[in-house]
Amino acid sequence: MSMRLVFLSHLYPNSAAPNLAPYNRQLIGALARKAEVRVVAPVFTCPAEPWFRRRAIPPVEETLAGLRVAHPRVFRIPGCLAHRHWRSYRKTVAPCLENLARDFRPDHVMIGFAYPDGVAAAPLCRAMAVRHSIRINGSDFRIRVRQPRFRDMVLDMLREAPLVLCPGHALKHDLEAEGVHAERIVAFQNGVDARLFRHRSANETLRNLAAAMGDWGGDRIGNARMILYVGHLTDGKRVEAILRALALLDRMSKCVFVAIGDGPLRGSLERRAARLGIAQRVVFRGARPHEEVARWMNAADCLCLPSRSEGMPNVVVEALASGLPVVASDVGEVSFLVRNGKNGFVVKSGVEGFAGRLAEAIRACLGRSWDRERIATEMRSFTWEAAAERVLDAITEMERRAAGTMNGQERY
């Protein structure tokens, strides 16, 4: 009989936000081909928020790609008492997990984010005597442990977890340094959808670029070299550094910057581009379907990711699988994925003059002739099937060890 698995995370695609957290959709989709899976993906609501700022929310339950997904509503006021959001999260999620424990009888609950998901739900799993794991992504750990109001609750939760899953060995090392037991941490590598993210011929790339532009008005690109960013527009991603680098580059070379993604900083970034005098060379496309992202990656000349913190950024894996060279800050697994002069350049983060060094790396990347087919070929081992198999093996091994030490006691 296959394993019955519940995946819990507030970051999961839904009918109102289909482009949210595609890496979760792909990993859980691969797991669902090997196990019986249910998904609990809470959504945050704020009735006091003005009507013109409210986001569309999905139904309480829906079926996505053949998976049953529950969307319990968690009340919170954005930016207010964030260190206490776990309380309303736990209160809302508890009935949903209790119903699944009774009707679905899961063997395991995989929690897909440290806070508030892990802090809120790990005690619920223990109370129901269902073993659980915490899947750390990167910033949800690295940033939270630097914030005094979050540090202790996140570390206590991780140190007590039977199993911690993380993308990459750099993140595993950081978890160990904070006192998480090494034998409870299992590292795996993220996958990529090779049907979408692959090297394409020059003619196919040109056709895809035209399709990706649609009615946008691609006359702004012309013969310019294209720098691409894909991700949320938040402070941690440091997109402003790309704008400052582009302003430096524009004096010596013709470049255009295309940003795919949305977030709270979009307005301020657009104003920043105008102040720098580069607004005509900057395009904010907003959130786009995964299929379109793949087309942009084939059309671009380099991907730029100047984040302050990352785990194993899936956008880098997807870019390299497409044959697109990458310029990124040296955070998380980036230095393991990107090798200077081989498939891109890594920029040292956290020191003065970052935008200038980023501009130099972009200039070097755009000035080099890359073997894009070779870059793509080297990423063939990065599959979601391999990631899912590694995760299931880790869960199975955890269950085996627990069964060997229970001696007739409770499941915990």
- Residue 118: the pLDDT is 97
CA 103 from centroid of its chain's CA atoms: 31
Contacts of 309 (CB under 8 A, 6+ apart): 138, 139, 142, 143, 236, 331, 332
- Tell me, yes or no, whether 369 lies in a domain: yes
CA torsion, ordered 281, 286, 289, 290, to nearest 10 deg: 60
- Residue 362: the pLDDT is 96
Asked if residue 289 and residue 273 are part of one domain, the reply reads yes
Number of H helices, E strands in the chain: 15, 16
- Residue 412: the pLDDT is 42
Q: What's the pTM value of the predicted model, to 2 decimals? A: 0.82
**Contact criterion met (CB below 8 Å) for 150 and 116:** no
Asked if residue 400 and residue 369 are part of one domain, the reply reads no
- Tell me, yes or no, whether 158 lies in a domain: yes
Asked if residue 142 and residue 13 are part of one domain, the reply reads yes
Asked if residue 340 and residue 387 are part of one domain, the reply reads no
- Tell me, yes or no, whether 412 lies in a domain: no
User: Which residues of the chain carry a pLDDT beneath 50?
Assistant: 215-217, 408, 410-412
- Tell me, yes or no, whether 218 lies in a domain: yes
- Tell me, yes or no, whether 311 lies in a domain: yes
Asked if residue 239 and residue 172 are part of one domain, the reply reads no
- Residue 222: the pLDDT is 58
Asked if residue 226 and residue 101 are part of one domain, the reply reads no
Asked if residue 296 and residue 369 are part of one domain, the reply reads yes
CA distance 39 to 398: 21
Domain count, the chain: 2
Contacts of 296 (CB under 8 A, 6+ apart): 209, 212, 228, 230, 258, 260, 288
Residue 155 Cα distances to 9, 30, 113, 122, angstroms: 18, 29, 13, 12
Asked if residue 373 and residue 388 are part of one domain, the reply reads no
Asked if residue 299 and residue 209 are part of one domain, the reply reads yes
- Tell me, yes or no, whether 41 lies in a domain: yes
Asked if residue 387 and residue 373 are part of one domain, the reply reads no
Could you report how far apart the first and last alpha carbons of the chain are, in Å?
Answer: 22
Residue 231 Cα distances to 1, 19, 387, angstroms: 39, 11, 22
Asked if residue 388 and residue 358 are part of one domain, the reply reads no
Range of the domain at 131: 4-191+383-406
* Domain containing residue 238: CATH number: 3.40.50.2000
- Tell me, yes or no, whether 411 lies in a domain: no
- Residue 371: the pLDDT is 95
CA distance 99 to 105: 9
- Tell me, yes or no, whether 197 lies in a domain: no
Query: Which amino acid is it at 250?
Result: D
Contacts of 51 (CB under 8 A, 6+ apart): none
Task: Determine phi and psi for 166, rounding to 5 degrees.
Answer: -145, 145
Asked if residue 222 and residue 156 are part of one domain, the reply reads no
